[in-house]
Amino acid sequence: MPVNLPTNLLRSFVTIVDTGSMLNASEKVFLTQSALSLQIKRLEDLLQQSLFHRDGRRLTLTPAGDLMLDYARRVLALHDEAVAALTAGDFSGPARIGMVQDFADMLLTGLLARFAELHPDAQVYARIAGTAELLAQLEMRQLDIVLGFGAANDPAAVVQAPMAWYGDAALVAREELPLAVLEPPCRFREAAIRALENAGRPYRITVETPNLTTMWAAVQAGLGITCRTHLFLQAEPVVAEELPSLPQVSCIVRTAPALDGATARLAALSREVAAGL
């Protein structure tokens, strides 16, 4: 019986060669390094050949690996050509969308539900992270769409809103203003600290967390004042003359070039939803 080589194993093999390491390849194929290593072991077991020389973390192709690389590229090219020919005009891959947690907590379910109605066979990869991290992944072509925060004059701005202070108003009377903030990099954290320092207002960070839900729980518990925008909060802002004014922030939608039909539709829905905040 002939040996059947799964295309996902071939694709992982080629990606490792093209990116130069397991680490870089794992980010491209959305697998952990251990899962990727297991895939290569399975491919080697099927072929009964070692494809890589391993010197610590350094990988170089064996003669068998060098020969297999050319065949793997040809198999994948023919495979992808066949899929493209048979699914022309249809959705054929995961729409990769990244968003800050503010968007995720309020918009993710509704946005993806509308997208699923339009493209019931669609696959979606969703990533929740800070804007800087998401934009870096967009630049590396690991994401197709990013919903995040930018400066008020950002060319990708969909809607703008003023930042405001939120929390227990009684905390404003303290000699040092207690702050609840997200870990850097965070546009709201930077704006709050800059505004307080420019105004000469003493402060101390009492809560620092990478998670927006945790930070907001701390604010509701009276552990600190925070800086955010009304677009994503049901609470009333703190109105106090003792607190300095804050700048505006924009909600941005950025996309990779040349999106396909379904992913382009998801980008359009993202802009529509953001504009309606």
Mean pLDDT of the chain: 86
CATH 1.10.10.10 fits 7-86, yes or no: yes
Residue 266 has pLDDT above 70, yes or no: yes
- Correct CATH for 90-277 of 3.40.190.290, 3.30.1300.30, 2.60.40.4070, 2.60.120.10: 3.40.190.290
Predicted pLDDT of residue 92: 52
Q: How confident is the model at residue 94 (pLDDT cuts 50, 70, 90)?
A: confident
Cβ burial, residue 218 (10 Å; 0-12/13-18/19+): buried
Residue 4 has pLDDT above 90, yes or no: no
- Highest-scoring range by mean pLDDT, 95-99, 102-106, 220-224, 265-269: 220-224
pLDDT in tens, 190-225: 999 999 999 999 999 999 998 888 999 999 999 999
Predicted pLDDT of residue 91: 47
| The pair of three-digit structure tokens given for residue 58, joined into one six-digit string | 């350094």
Q: Where in the chain is the domain with CATH 1.10.10.10?
A: 7-86
> What pTM, to 2 d.p., does this model score?
0.62
pLDDT in tens, 168-197: 999 999 999 999 999 988 999 999 999 999
Residue 251 has pLDDT above 60, yes or no: yes
How do beta strands 157-166 and 52-55 pair? unpaired
Among 41-55, 74-88, 243-257, the minimum mean pLDDT is found in 74-88
Cα separation, 131 vs 116, whole angstroms: 25
pLDDT in tens, 133-167: 999 999 988 899 999 999 888 888 988 889 999 99
The three-state secondary structure class of 122 is coil
Phi, then psi, of 93 in degrees rounded to 5: -170, 165
Predicted pLDDT of residue 239: 77
Cα separation, 42 vs 63, whole angstroms: 18
Q: Where in the chain is the domain with CATH 3.40.190.290?
A: 90-277
Residue 106 has pLDDT above 70, yes or no: no
Residue 87 has pLDDT above 80, yes or no: no
247 cis-preceded (ω within 30 degrees of 0): no
